[in-house]
Amino acid sequence: MTLRVLCVFLLSGWLSVSAAALPIPENGPALRIQGSNTIGAELGPALVEGLLQEQGLLKIHRETPDTANEQRIVGQTAQGQRVIIEVAAHGSSTGFAALKNASADLAASSREIKDSELLALQALGDLKSPAAEQVIAIDGLAIILNPANPLEQLNTEQLARIFAGEVKTWEELGSRGGAIHLYARDDQSGTYDTFKELVLSRRGKSLSSAAKRFESSEQLSDAVSADPQGIGFIGLPYVRQAKAVAIADGASQAMLPLNSLIATEDYPLSRRLFFYLPPDSRNPWAQALATFAQSPQGQAIVATSGFISQTVQAMSVTPNALMPEGYQSLSRHAQRLTVNFRFAEGSASLDNKARQDLARVLDYIKRNGKTERAVTLVGFGDLKDDPARADLLSKLRAMAVRRELVKNGVVMREVRGFGALMPVATNSADEGRIKNRRVEVWVY
């Protein structure tokens, strides 16, 4: 269905193609996107193509200008007008800089906006508002080795010491191969920012100057694949011919970057991919692309591009001895949905992604006839000083989600709290504690 944009057709410089179509600019691109290489290499252009198809444009194709990591996606109206959308993929930070200097209409980012960027862009409106901050996909940072390396798992503490240059040989990790060769994305990359935040900075480390840096994800992955002594970090779609290892964080189990564990954001190096749309934007194509990215069609493109879509599915969980008995029983009789509800930092309020996910979960529940006592919510907390407090808060978080579902006609089967059990991240850092504060949805 063609997206309707009702209030912008009369803006100066725009021509409406039809009553139901987006307006075409008289001059220049219809939309300028800048930012993340992870998004801009393939996912962003693929979503743009989907939007152009939805708008009924013809002869949709990509053009590559002389500048590396930039593309133009072009379509044509029935009247022969060219519609051009520009995508520049030089790293997440460049997207926010482009919003500030008005050289982009939409920022693509593979990390959350920083406080300093929020402050610098406050004239454009609140970029942390639900309408502005749009989670379009989930990605996992894979730690990749040469396929011949026998190592199967690492923890985040080891990763920090490896990439800081403190662990220098594979033998120190119980493997073989001699000196470790480090491969990393460049400073403009959201992938690097995420790795730095999740692994290095949390432990007071900095990336070794010996690391070979890359702007291109594909080139980095191929370099590790060709180097028996290499190790690198990369977005999930770019593992290519390399070998991914399982990762543990704190007391969590070691996890491979599997789709189901990334969808729930349990995998220690999972991350969100964002569009940031300035609330005061007067470009109707920017809002249309953000809306399309959230649609079932957009999320299908996310999946075919190699990322993890936010489409809700049910998955079976195999019980094991590390689970509390109540959780084992649940896993024997019910299925878990591929979404976790998480909460805004320092708040009991659902974060922006959770607000989006509420609609998706409700749609799943209603489509599958689960509105009458077929849904159980399971809350988890983080361990600080008082286990009893963690138990209480874990159930209160589940109750917060219950309230939202009940408002929409869902009669719950049960609400449970498992306190600080089964952490998915270390409790020694704020970021890990936030990740451990979660609510799972199970269906019978």
Alpha helices (runs of H) in 154-270, residue ranges in sequence order: 156-163, 190-195, 217-225, 259-263
Residue located via tokens 């309230």: 403
CATH of the domain at 281: 3.40.190.10
Domain C-terminal end among 251, 286, 304: 304
Please count the structural domains in the chain: 3
- Residue-wise pLDDT for 213-266, tens only, equals 999 999 999 999 999 999 999 988 899 999 999 999 988 889 999 889 999 999
Tell me phi and psi for residue 308, to 5 degrees.
-100, 120
So what's the pLDDT on residue 19?
33
Identify the burial level of 273 via C-beta atoms within 10 angstroms of its C-beta, where 0-12 means exposed, 13-18 middle and 19 or more buried: buried
Q: Which residues contact 102 (CB under 8 A, 6 or more apart)?
A: none
Q: Which of 180, 213, 181, 178 is nearest to 196 (CA)?
A: 213
Q: What domain range includes position 185?
A: 139-261
- Verify that 54 and 93 share a domain, yes or no: yes
In this structure, the answer to whether residues 382 and 327 fall within a common structural domain is yes
8 Å CB contact between 361 and 337: yes
Alpha carbon distance 75, 54 (integer Å): 11
The reply to whether 7 falls in a domain is: no
150-184 pLDDT per residue, tens: 999 999 999 999 999 999 999 999 999 999 999 99
Q: Both tokens of residue 289?
A: 């692309």
State whether 226 and 335 are in the same domain: no
318: its two tokens: 């195999």
Contacts of 38 by beta carbon, 8 Å cutoff, 6+ apart: 110, 139, 189, 190, 191, 217, 235, 273
- Structure confidence at residue 56 as a pLDDT band (50, 70, 90): very high
268 falls within a domain:
no
Dmax over CA atoms of the chain, in Å, equals 68
**Is residue 77 domain-shared with residue 169, that is, in the same domain?**
no
38 & 90 share domain: yes
User: Does residue 2 lie within any of the structural domains?
Assistant: no
pLDDT surpassing 90 at residue 431: no
Residues 250 and 167 in one domain: yes
Q: Which tens digit of pLDDT belongs to each residue from 258-294?
A: 889 999 999 999 989 999 999 988 899 999 999 999 9
Beta carbons within 8 Å of 197's beta carbon, 6+ residues apart: 111, 431
In a domain, 397, yes or no: yes
* Total residues found in the chain within this entry: 444
Residue in 262, 219, 215 with CA at minimum distance from that of residue 240: 219
- Using an 8 Å Cβ cutoff, are 70 and 34 in contact? no
The pTM of the full predicted model, rounded to 2 decimals, is: 0.82
Structural domain includes residue 271 = no
Tell me if 187 is assigned to some domain: yes
| CATH code (residue 359) | 3.30.1330.60
Q: Return the axis-axis angle of helices 296-304 and 44-54, rounded to nearest 10°.
A: 140
Separation of CA 389 from chain center: 30
